[in-house]
A and B are shown apart, each in its own frame.
Chain A
Amino acid sequence: MDLYKIGVKIFVTNPEVVNLHDLIPVFQSWIQQRKIEGHQLIDVHDYSHVHDGPGILLVAYEGNFSMDQEDGRLGLFYYRKQPLQVGLEANLKTVLNTALRACKLLEAEPKLKGIRFKTDAILVVANDRLLAPNEPETRTMLETVIASALGAAQLALQAEDSRERLAFVVSRG
């Protein structure tokens, strides 16, 4: 499977310290300093007015980063938009590593008051309904690949609703 449109969300452990608007100058400074390797960072977008939305979005050509609030859970979401062309397992690892790198940068930001991310449980989304529809066959296939690529101890399907994208909450051992 050539799936590269993958999203990974890494949850914040201490959302109470986070003021979404503090992310705006941080993301702007990332653009100034070209902080994310392999990404042409373009712009910052404020969606804080939308309920459980992408919060603050950092748009890049290769993929988008956001301090996301989907389902009421705050976390750093990274969505890959451009092909990686190295195979699904490798793609998964690359996307996860990009997200983790962004989390580390955020944790090191003095303006963000000690924000911390937990990496023992993450959300993995297949953002492509053609290649990875939310159906039993693809679920099984993707489960296997994720388990192998990310060393997952446990995978829980996020939504049975076939209209939603195929997504797993991955607990890592």
Chain B
Amino acid sequence: MTWKEKLADKLPRALADEIDVYETQLELRKLGKIDEKLFAETRLRRGAYGQRYDNGQRHDGTKTQHLHFPSEPLTKGPDTMWDAPGMQRIKIPFGGLTSSQLETLADCAEEYSDSILHVTTRQDFQLHFVHIEDTPTLMRRLAAAGITTREACGNSIRNVTACPLVGVCRTQAFDVTPYAKAIAYFLLGHPDTQDFGRKFKIAFSGCEQEACGLVNMHDMGCLALVRDGKRGFKLYVGGGLGPVPYQAKVFADFIPEEELLPIAQAISRVFARLGEKQNRSRARIKFLVAKLGVDEFKRLVMEERKILPPDPRWTAFIPEAHGFKETPLKSPSSLDGASKPEGYAAWAETNVYQQLQPGYAVVTISLPIGDLTSKQARRVADLARKYCGDNIRTTVEQNLVFRWVAGRDLTELYRGLKDVGLGDFGAGTILDTVACPGTDTCKLGIASSRGLARELRTRLAEQYFTMDAAVKGLHIKMSGCFNSCGQHHLADIGFYGNSRTLGNRKVPHFQVLLGGKWRDNAGSYGLAIGSVPSKNVPTVVERITKRFVKERLGNESFQDFITRIGKAESRKMIEDLMEVPAYEKDATFYSDWGDPREFTMGDMGIGECAGEIVSRIDFDLQAAERLCFEAQLKLEANDLEKADELAYKSMLQAAQGLVKELWYDVPNDANVIAKEFRARLFEPKLFWDRFAGGKFAQDFFRRHENPPTRYDYDEVHRLIEESQLFIEAAHACADKLREQKVANVKL
């Protein structure tokens, strides 16, 4: 018997058919009857994602090894070996989960993955090291439990997220759960969402002032509002993080609930029709909204709305939504004088939230870097059955929550969680470090975000009880690269991975961002102040937090503190920590957290061309970084014109430095620099990111060819972000040029 046969009567017919089709596509790909690109998008739309080293290459610390797989040269996508383990992303709309679903996830983690369930920053689960051949069966088992992986990746509507407290929150307008569910399933596989140029993310929030829903950073954000006794939403569009973060624009101050689905459908149509399709790095809806302006975008959407054929599903869910109510397992109660186990008080302070409904609490289960074992998952399912029923949710801070826990059960629940190693306190505090997978498993990762998160968590936990309360409440988030999966822009202290070259060695670094705002639904984004070697990050955190405690004025927030002291002073705090000791003095700086391999560049020989490697280009790039930083200072001072000019000049400086490597006498004329940069570096794809393609160069060309005639804060802010990324790309390009020189010398 197979799982397909065993689960035949448990799978919804449509879902079973979809998975059968997917399985056939696997077979066709093996026979070479489907193009690899097409197959890649097919599997992505089923949540089967690539993973690091799946190109069959891995640097083992001394050399690049070819990984031999039995099905070679069969691929499951461009440069992606068929047999290489991959990642399976599993959508959990609004994070809502039942006990039996959690058990199924645990079973699948054991049998197809590594017994670890990973909660992501968008309320999904991820299983790693999964073999492509196992994915159809895995999907069937999940589907039998009511879980789909459809459109978990690819150019589609991703998991619809929602605040995990909605329905029980003390400050909400109303419970958005049924709305999030309705939109998730209405748009899932909808014909109008199948032709996007990039992914599309939707989030719901029950109230404006809290962070939970993060509606400001989403392609479409829905904020619950009640107007004249009628439910509806303040609708945002065009937000997003990624390399260059965009704050969402208000699409409408209020749309009535019955318009939510049709407007989402109309937005999908406009995005599919007008969104960029060729240049992936500018294909998110944020670029379309920025290009058209929100008013024009709205006009187009409302025009589209008028001609949509009516669909009964637009409103069919509304009566149910009004009657939606979760059923608590137990009657309300209070803990009263019950004896409390050791550690309970600290845990309750950070991990227990008193619900809107008296006698009930929400309990957050802190998961270290979003991970739990399959055995823990099964015990959590047992505890849920005992204390809260099926009211489990995942959170964007990579934790789980139990809702509707009766007050008198809190101590017993704590004991139960502690027994399985899940009784850690610190949810929502500085200990609750959030990290994307980074170099652990992600193909795009530059530095080890999880390694850093683990290290910071350990160190901060040791100091937690002596920390100032203001520091305890800070958020730290990190990403392994500039793509922001760790949501570093939203943290008080954020980091994203990059690398720098010293001599002929690479050093893992993290760019430091200060002053992002988690509150107010991701109210504002932090700005970079400088890049520090990865191994200095814990000292950076210590120094910044100490300074905050020492110089804080009254109840001043961290954001206000950073604004008050200014960027220049912030940078001064870390300037000495940006230095990298010589390899001979301290080699630990040249490897990443939790990875003893030397952080180095492929096949480049040690010691060759050293004189040239410590070269003028490094000096030029340093100058470009300085200009970029000065641009930030001008932005801070609201001198938009100067900020724009400096950001542009920083790109020009970096471009000139690179061109000089090929034509030493390049003049200082901006037009000549841009022209030569295009011909010598951009067109031959030397200035070319493996994943972002020519995006960074195009940002430079756009500003060079279209200098602004008026200055808008958001646009200048964006240009500074772009110039920062341009400089990062210039570092990578400089490395490429060095490698070429080495190769030429060898020849």
Task: Give A residues with C-beta under 8 Å from B.
Answer: 5, 21, 24-25, 28, 31-32, 40, 42-54, 57, 59, 61, 64, 66, 70-71, 81, 127-130, 163-165
Known contacts A45-B114, A59-B129; decide if A52 and B421 are in contact (CB<8 Å): yes
CA distance A48 to B84 in the complex (A): 24
Given contacts A57-B114, A61-B83, A130-B6, 10 further A-B contacts (CB under 8 A): A28-B61, A32-B60, A42-B58, A46-B450, A50-B368, A50-B421, A52-B373, A64-B114, A70-B375, A163-B378
CA distance A126 to B62 in the complex (A): 37
Known contacts A5-B111, A24-B594, A130-B1; decide if A31 and B454 are in contact (CB<8 Å): no
Q: For residue A48, which residue of chain B has the nearest CB? A: B454
Contact residues of B between 402 and 458, Cβ < 8 Å to A? 420-422, 440-441, 450-451, 454, 457
Residues of chain A contacted by B69 (CB below 8 angstroms): 40, 61
Question: Main secondary structure on chain B at its contact with chain A?
Answer: mixed
- Encode B62-95 as 1/0 by CB contact (under 8 A) with A: 1001011110000000000001110000000000
CB distance from B385 to the nearest CB of A (A): 12
Say which residue of B103, B114, B128 sits within 8 Å of A163 (CB atoms): B103
Q: For residue A7, which residue of chain B has the nearest CB? A: B110
CB distance from B356 to the nearest CB of A (A): 32
Say which residue of B3, B115, B368 sits within 8 Å of A49 (CB atoms): B368
- Encode B330-372 as 1/0 by CB contact (under 8 A) with A: 0000000000000000000000000000000000000011011
Q: For residue B378, which residue of chain A has the nearest CB? A: A163
A53 pairs with B61, CB closer than 8 A: no
Residues of chain A contacted by B3 (CB below 8 angstroms): 130
Residues of chain A contacted by B107 (CB below 8 angstroms): 129, 163
CA distance A43 to B439 in the complex (A): 11
B53 pairs with A43, CB closer than 8 A: yes
Say which residue of B1, B373, B594 sits within 8 Å of A53 (CB atoms): B373
Residues of chain B contacted by A71 (CB below 8 angstroms): 375
Residues of chain B contacted by A49 (CB below 8 angstroms): 368-369, 371, 454, 457
CA distance A71 to B374 in the complex (A): 12
Task: Give B residues with C-beta under 8 Å from A.
Answer: 1-3, 6, 52-53, 58, 60-62, 65, 67-70, 83-85, 103, 107, 110-111, 114-116, 128-129, 131, 368-369, 371-373, 375-376, 378, 420-422, 440-441, 450-451, 454, 457, 594-597
Q: Closest 5 A-B residue pairs measured CB to CB?
A: A51-B421, A49-B368, A25-B596, A32-B60, A46-B594
Residues of chain B contacted by A43 (CB below 8 angstroms): 52-53, 58
B457 pairs with A28, CB closer than 8 A: no
Known contacts A31-B65, A49-B454, A51-B376; decide if A128 and B111 are in contact (CB<8 Å): yes
7 contacts between A and B (CB under 8 A): A46-B440, A50-B116, A50-B371, A50-B372, A61-B70, A61-B84, A129-B111
Give the number of residue pairs across the A-B interface with Cβ within 8 Å. 104
A47 pairs with B594, CB closer than 8 A: no
Residues of chain B contacted by A31 (CB below 8 angstroms): 58, 60, 65
Residues of chain A contacted by B597 (CB below 8 angstroms): 28
CA distance A71 to B419 in the complex (A): 11
A54 pairs with B58, CB closer than 8 A: no
CA distance A51 to B596 in the complex (A): 23
A52 pairs with B371, CB closer than 8 A: no
B115 pairs with A54, CB closer than 8 A: yes
CB distance from A79 to the nearest CB of B (A): 8
B60 pairs with A40, CB closer than 8 A: no
Residues of chain B contacted by A66 (CB below 8 angstroms): 114
Known contacts A24-B596, A59-B85, A61-B85; decide if A50 and B440 are in contact (CB<8 Å): no
CA distance A57 to B376 in the complex (A): 18
A42 pairs with B111, CB closer than 8 A: no
Q: For residue B439, which residue of chain A has the nearest CB? A: A43
Residues of chain A contacted by B103 (CB below 8 angstroms): 163
Q: For residue A125, which residue of chain B has the nearest CB? A: B110
CA distance A154 to B595 in the complex (A): 41
A47 pairs with B116, CB closer than 8 A: yes
Residues of chain B contacted by A28 (CB below 8 angstroms): 60-61, 595-597
A46 pairs with B372, CB closer than 8 A: no
Known contacts A32-B61, A61-B69, A163-B103; decide if A81 and B131 are in contact (CB<8 Å): yes
Residues of chain A contacted by B84 (CB below 8 angstroms): 42, 61
Residues of chain A contacted by B378 (CB below 8 angstroms): 163-164
A46 pairs with B451, CB closer than 8 A: yes
Say which residue of B60, B68, B372, B595 sits within 8 Å of A24 (CB atoms): B595
CA distance A21 to B451 in the complex (A): 12
CB distance from B593 to the nearest CB of A (A): 9
Q: For residue B68, which residue of chain A has the nearest CB? A: A40
Known contacts A28-B60, A51-B420; decide if A64 and B1 are in contact (CB<8 Å): no
CB distance from B534 to the nearest CB of A (A): 15
B371 pairs with A130, CB closer than 8 A: no
A53 pairs with B116, CB closer than 8 A: yes
Residues of chain B contacted by A24 (CB below 8 angstroms): 594-596
Known contacts A42-B85, A43-B53; decide if A59 and B114 are in contact (CB<8 Å): yes
Q: For residue B62, which residue of chain A has the nearest CB? A: A32
CA distance A61 to B51 in the complex (A): 13
Residue of A40, A127, A164, A165 most packed against chain B (CB within 10 A) = A40
Q: For residue A27, which residue of chain B has the nearest CB? A: B596
Residues of chain A contacted by B67 (CB below 8 angstroms): 40, 42, 61
Residue of A50, A51, A57, A66 most packed against chain B (CB within 10 A) = A51
CB distance from A60 to the nearest CB of B (A): 9
CA distance A169 to B70 in the complex (A): 33
CB distance from B417 to the nearest CB of A (A): 10
CA distance A164 to B110 in the complex (A): 10
Residues of chain A contacted by B1 (CB below 8 angstroms): 130
CA distance A26 to B440 in the complex (A): 17
CB distance from A57 to the nearest CB of B (A): 6
A127 pairs with B454, CB closer than 8 A: no
CA distance A7 to B682 in the complex (A): 51
Residues of chain A contacted by B368 (CB below 8 angstroms): 49-50
Say which residue of A21, A50, A81 sits within 8 Å of B373 (CB atoms): A50
Residue of A21, A28, A45, A54 most packed against chain B (CB within 10 A) = A45
Q: For residue B597, which residue of chain A has the nearest CB? A: A28
Known contacts A49-B371, A53-B373; decide if A165 and B110 are in contact (CB<8 Å): yes
CB distance from B142 to the nearest CB of A (A): 14
Residues of chain B contacted by A50 (CB below 8 angstroms): 116, 368, 371-373, 376, 421
CB distance from B139 to the nearest CB of A (A): 15
Q: For residue A5, which residue of chain B has the nearest CB? A: B111
CA distance A24 to B375 in the complex (A): 24
B454 pairs with A46, CB closer than 8 A: yes
CB distance from B711 to the nearest CB of A (A): 46
CA distance A54 to B128 in the complex (A): 13
Q: For residue B440, which residue of chain A has the nearest CB? A: A45
CB distance from A81 to the nearest CB of B (A): 7
CA distance A130 to B85 in the complex (A): 22
Residues of chain A contacted by B422 (CB below 8 angstroms): 51
CB distance from B427 to the nearest CB of A (A): 16
CB distance from A164 to the nearest CB of B (A): 8
Q: For residue A45, which residue of chain B has the nearest CB? A: B440
